[in-house]
Every structure is written in C-alpha cells, then in structure tokens.
Copies of this chain bind each other. A is one copy, B any other.
Amino acid sequence: MPITNQIQFEEVRDRFGSFLRERQLRQTPERISILEEIYKATDHFDADELFLKLQANDVRVSRATVYNTLDLLIDCKLVRRHQFGDKQAKYEPAHAYAQHDHLICEDCNQLFEFCDPRIQGIQEMVAEIFQFDVIRHSLNLYGHCRRENCPNKPAEEPNG
C-alpha cells in the first residue's frame, strides 16, 4: 500500500537521478513529473490511467513519453510491471514495499496483496534443479472473493 511521504519521495527521486546520470540520460521535467504522479498512486494503474491523471494535473506529456519513462523506471527498479491476464499491463511503485504477490477476484477484478516465505524456498529449489539464476517471480492467485457487494458474482451452481 504505497503511502509515500515526502522524505521517502526525495530518496526515490535521487535514485532516479543517479540512475539517469549513470546512463547519461537526461533528467527532463516530464520524467520527474511522471515519477511524482506514479508515487502518488495508492494502487495499481495502467499506462493510460497514468497518462490521464497527468493530463488532469495539467502535466502535458505524451503517451510515448509515459511508456518510455515507465520502462526507465522499471530498469531502475522504482516501478514493477504486472500482466494480470488482461493484455494491458499494470504497474505499481516499487520502492520500499516488500516484494509481494497478488490475489485477483475474477468477478470484480479487485487486487489483494500477500507475502509468503515459502515462495523464496521454491525459487531457490527450482534454481538449483534447473541450474538457473532466478531473478524474479510472479505468483498470481485467481478466484472469487466472497464480499457481498462483489459484482458479477456467479449464481450458485444448480447441480454441482
């Protein structure tokens, strides 16, 4: 749950700054504005939502720049990208939040986050068996939440 305060954000911006300097890339106002907007997010978002939020805040950037900057931020490990089954990618700010996995309700599309240490063990075991350097993982659980107000809840099966 990304509630980033000002001090944390300075750190994030510095990290992006160093990253850009290292690679001899430019620290443009567009890139900084995009990073700021991303770190206001309290949830996952897609590229177009980000583009529209920027517009709403009178930050004039093109979609092309949004995509370009997202890629940079992913390289820099300040943003994570997820593919939750839709063809459109979802993103989330990544700084200072523990690596976590996702639980998705296929009726209301709501996302929940969880952590389980056993995944680390699986990752290490598989790496050993296959002689791989495993860099990251993605575990998504799909199902149905039992919330009353969940829309599209499938009717009880007449005969199971």
Contacts and interface: CB of A to CB of B under 8 A. Distances in A.
Contacts of A116: 122, 125-126
Interface stretch (A17-25, A29-37, A58-66, A130-138): A130-138
Interface stretch (A6-14, A45-53, A91-99, A141-149): A141-149
A133 B140 contact: no
Contact of A135 (B83, B89, B132, B144): B144
A36 to B, nearest CB: 27
Contact of A141 (B121, B137, B146): B137
A116 B122 CA distance: 7
A87 interface: yes
A143 B134 contact: yes
A136 B142 contact: yes
A145 B131 contact: yes
Contacts of A127: 141, 143
Contact of A143 (B118, B135, B139, B140): B135
Given A114-B126, A118-B122, A119-B122, A143 B138 contact: no
A103 interface: yes
Contacts of A83: 83-85, 87
B126 A146 contact: no
